[in-house]
Amino acid sequence: MASPQTTSNAVPKSSANQGFVYLPLIAGWLVPGAGHFLLGKWGRGALLAASVVGMFVIGLAMQGQLFSNVHDILDLLGFVGDLGNGLLFLVGRVAGLGADQVQITSQDWGTRFIEVAGLLNVIAAVDAHNIRTGRKAA
Amino acid sequence: MQISHFSALALFSLFASTVFGITMRDTPKKMLRYGIYCFALFVGSGIVVSWLMYFIAH
C-alpha cells in the first residue's frame, strides 16, 4: 500500500516562515521595508525603505500635499495613494506636514511623489507577503 | 525645495525603478538588469514625450 504523499512545493519551515502569515504584509505597509526585514532580506529591505522614504521626504520637501479632505474622485485616488505610506502618512498628518493647497508646479510634483511612494510601498509589502508564502523565490 | 523638471523625472525614475527591480525579479542580477531597464524606459519616454509636447506647442 502506498504511503501518503506530501506536496513537493510546500514552503520550507524556518524561523522566518513561522507565525502570523500576514505579518510581513502589514509590517511592510506600516513601515517601509519592514516586511523584508522580518524575512531576513536586509539588503532588499534597506533599498525599498530608502526608495519609499526618500520619495516621501522629497515630496514633502517640494511642499507636496497630503490629502485629508476628499472632494472628488481624483482626491479619493490621491488619498488612497497617500494611505499606502502607512505610518509615514499618519505621522505627516499629525505633524501637520505638507501643503494645504497646490499652487506651483513643484508642489504638484511633490504631491505625485508622495502618492507614488505609497503605491510603491504597497507593491513592496505585497512582495514581502509573496516571499513569506513561498509564491516568490527567496 | 525647487528642482527642475528633469531632476524630478530622474529622481522619480530612480526610486520607482529600484522598487520595480527588487519586487518583479527573483535574483540580484535580474533585479539590477530590470531596474536599469525600467530607469531607461522612464527617462527615455519622458524625454520623447517632452519633445512631442514641444513640437505640438510650436
ipTM: 0.91
B47 found inside a domain: yes
Q: What is the mean pLDDT of residues A69-98?
A: 92
Max distance between CA atoms of chain B, in angstroms, equals 46
* Inter-chain contacts counted by CB atoms under 8 A, chains A and B: 56
Handedness of CA B25, B22, B42, B34 (dihedral sign): negative
Domain ranges of chain A: 20-133
Contacts of B26 in chain A (CB under 8 A): 136-137
Lookup: cell for B48? 520623447
Nearest to A55 by CA among A97, A104, A109: A109
Nearest CA in chain B to A63: B1
Among B15, B27, B39, the residue to mutate for chain A (most A Cβ within 10 A) = B15
Per-residue pLDDT tens over the stretch A85-129: 999 999 999 999 988 888 888 899 999 999 999 999 999 999 999
B2 found inside a domain: no
Q: What is the mean pLDDT of residues B16-30?
A: 96
Domain count for chain B: 1
B37 found inside a domain: yes
B50 found inside a domain: yes
Q: Does A136 touch chain B (CB under 8 A)?
A: yes
Is A62 in contact with B12 (Cβ distance < 8 A)? no
DSSP letter string over chain B?
Answer: ----HHHHHHHHHHHHHHHHHHHH-SSHHHHHHHHHHHHHHHHHHHHHHHHHHHHHH-
Q: What band does A4 get if pLDDT is binned at 50, 70 and 90?
A: very low
B1 found inside a domain: no
Contacts of B19 in chain A (CB under 8 A): 48, 51-52, 120, 123-124
B30 found inside a domain: yes
Instruction: Say if residues A132 and A21 touch (Cβ distance below 8 Å).
Output: yes
Lookup: cell for A8? 513537493
pLDDT recorded at residue B51? 95
- In this predicted structure, the answer to whether residue A16 has a pLDDT above a threshold of 60 is no
Secondary structure E strands in A55-101: none
B19 found inside a domain: yes
pLDDT recorded at residue A117? 97
Q: Does A54 touch chain B (CB under 8 A)?
A: yes
Q: What is the mean pLDDT of residues A25-31?
A: 97
Lookup result for grid cell 527617462: B43
What are the residues whose beta carbons fall under 8 Å from the beta carbon of A26, sequence distance 6 or more?
A125
Domain that holds residue B50: 7-57
pLDDT recorded at residue A17? 61
B42 found inside a domain: yes
